[in-house]
Chains A and B, each alone.
Chain A
Amino acid sequence: MSIALLAGPPGGQGMESLSPHQQRLGALPAVPPALIDSIERSNLRGKGGAGFPVAIKWRSVASQPGGAPVVLANGGEGEPLSRKDRMLMEQRPHLVIDGAMLAAGAVGADEIVLYVGADHVGAIQAMHRAMTERTASERARLRLVSAPVRYVSGEETAAVHFINDGIALPTSIPPRPFERGIDGRPTLIQNVETLAHVALIARFGDDWYRSLGTGNASGTTLVTVGGAVPQTVLIEIPQGMALADAVNAAGGITSDSDAVLLGGYFGGWVESSTAWGLPLDADALRQLGYSLGCGVVAVLPAGRCGVVETARILAYLAHESARQCGPCTFGLRAISAAAGRVAALTPTPGDLEHIQRWAGVLAGRGACRHPDGAAGLVASALRVFAAEFQLHEHDRRCSVASLAVAAS
């Protein structure tokens, strides 16, 4: 099911080269004078996870003093459950470059950095080839940078830090990158999917874009569906589509499921009974207290324990901490250790209470939002898997998985 970004030749055929790209969509239009207004009417939000309104960000960058801005197309995609950015770059690199060119034109930038995770080899190759297909004058403005394989590499300040100093660790704010970023210049950092949407809005208009969504929702969005489905797949859906329909479009569930992880490691667990009916629309989910994050829908398979999976994710997040801020370095490690003991049915007294209390004081205590994301995940897990956590701690029993499976 391909509708907007992924329209054209089906995935699996490699990248769409420049000439078919231009034949299908027309040449890259000159930057429309009211592009930012058009983006505002299209209600496009950042697709990297935070969902910040794109038009507001572009206006801020365009009005910053401090020299010509830089555009950074963020394809770091450190989220382990997400595939959308790398697959978009593999299949439609010219859409991403078009969007970055339009962004540069709209904010007055003369340089574009394409920031791609070093392990996304296919994406790097496609972006590189796409660059060589561009005119010399376009190529001169483009720079391809491979991002270190590390969860925090894609964080905005970490990306700027890496490009400036070769160190992919978050820095404290302010200054925020839109004030002072790459080479000290105002820097517009936008996820690659977001830029690809802009390439279509600029061509076909915001009315067209809005009409792609379901109900009040606008446009389309890329979703990675994984877990209890035949295989992890990337699909493009009209925003507002029910989560159950997206899972069906991905091949349907392969087992019963009690919970869905929505939004990735920085998202949250949702009971399946609630999840199936949720509209996959960033705005609507936010109002309901959930987050679409970077568009991950991971269905917990039957026979897998939510407590064990949560502990596994927390161990990963604790390991991926940049170890710069105390609450993240030590707090996340302590929470992860306690969750690991509860998951392995070897809790020490007070573990569960500690997890609850520590997670409550983690948010807002780091230079970046790494601890906040982990805290949100813990809160959702304690809510959705409350009974299972109790069973693990008090009865030292797991209702779904044998220890052998849990430890694997």
Chain B
Amino acid sequence: MSSQLLWYTTRGAGAVSLVLLSAVAVLGLLARLRFESRGWPRFLSAAVHGDLALMTVVFLVLHIVTAVVDPFTHLGLAALVPFGSYYRTLWLGLGAIAFELLLAIVATSLLRRYIGARVWRAIHWLAYVSWPVAVLHGIGTGTDRTALWMVAIDVVCVAAVAVALIWRVLVAPPDPLADERRLAAERASFGTGR
């Protein structure tokens, strides 16, 4: 019974993590686009993005710990090493990679005040690796991977991120310093102030 409970928890936490991580990705793209509307001030995208990312880590820890300690799977700590697992080496390896990239992204975000924007941004680009690798991990392995509800979750998550990503590529984010840059160019062309 307890091993059943552990396995159910692994599967549930995995599905929840996918939904959360996709929401984090969409909110991150919205924050970059400086999206705002009535009832959705700009700071909300960034704030919820960060909070949900922390919650994602919690669910992923649950997902991983329950899988590792499950006596039936015999995964062991080797599953935390990318491609170190004897069981479904490729698919679990992708999961390990996605999780560890996410940890790096979250840790550098928490330490952004100390490490500077440049390093933070460089690491944050890894989100474009972490999320798709995580999706592949979910599609490639798991008891529920062919269940209709799981496929539906996959489709919705991929669609949501894809739409946000296309929007991000097509629409240039507004430049908050646009006015200042114009002033600077005017000053430079008059040969004053510089």
Contacts and interface: CB of A to CB of B under 8 A. Distances in A.
- The yes or no verdict on A and B being binding partners is yes
Interface of A: 118, 145-146, 148, 165-167, 169, 172-175, 324, 326
B184 A166 contact: yes
Given A167-B184, A326-B43, A174 B177 contact: no
Contacts of A175: 116, 118
Interface stretch (B59-67, B134-142, B186-194): B186-194
Given A166-B185, A167-B180, A169-B180, A174 B116 contact: yes
Contacts of B184: 165-167
A174 to B, nearest CB: 4
A148 B116 contact: no
B193 A166 contact: yes
B116 A167 contact: no
29 contacts: A146-B193, A148-B193, A165-B181, A165-B184, A166-B180, A166-B181, A166-B183, A166-B184, A166-B185, A166-B187, A166-B188, A166-B193, A166-B194, A167-B177, A167-B180, A167-B181, A167-B184, A169-B177, A169-B180, A172-B117, A173-B113, A173-B116, A174-B113, A174-B114, A174-B115, A174-B116, A174-B117, A175-B116, A324-B176
Contacts of B113: 173-174
Where chain A touches its partner, the secondary structure class is loop
A146 B191 CA distance: 11
A127 B180 CA distance: 27
Contacts of B115: 174
Nearest to A172: B117
Nearest to A165: B184
Q: Give 9 closest A-B pairs by Cβ, nearest first.
A: A166-B184, A174-B116, A167-B180, A175-B116, A326-B43, A167-B184, A172-B117, A146-B193, A167-B177
Given A118-B193, A167-B177, A175-B116, 8 more contacts: A146-B193, A166-B180, A166-B181, A166-B185, A166-B193, A169-B180, A174-B117, A326-B43
A165 B177 CA distance: 11
Contacts of B180: 166-167, 169
A172 B193 CA distance: 23
Nearest to A175: B116
Contacts of A165: 181, 184
A153 to B, nearest CB: 11
Interface in B92-128: 113-118
Contacts of A118: 193
A173 B119 CA distance: 12
Most chain A beta carbons < 10 A, residue from B43, B115, B188, B193:
B193
A324 B116 CA distance: 17
Contacts of B185: 166
A169 B179 CA distance: 12
A175 B113 CA distance: 9
Contacts of B194: 145, 166
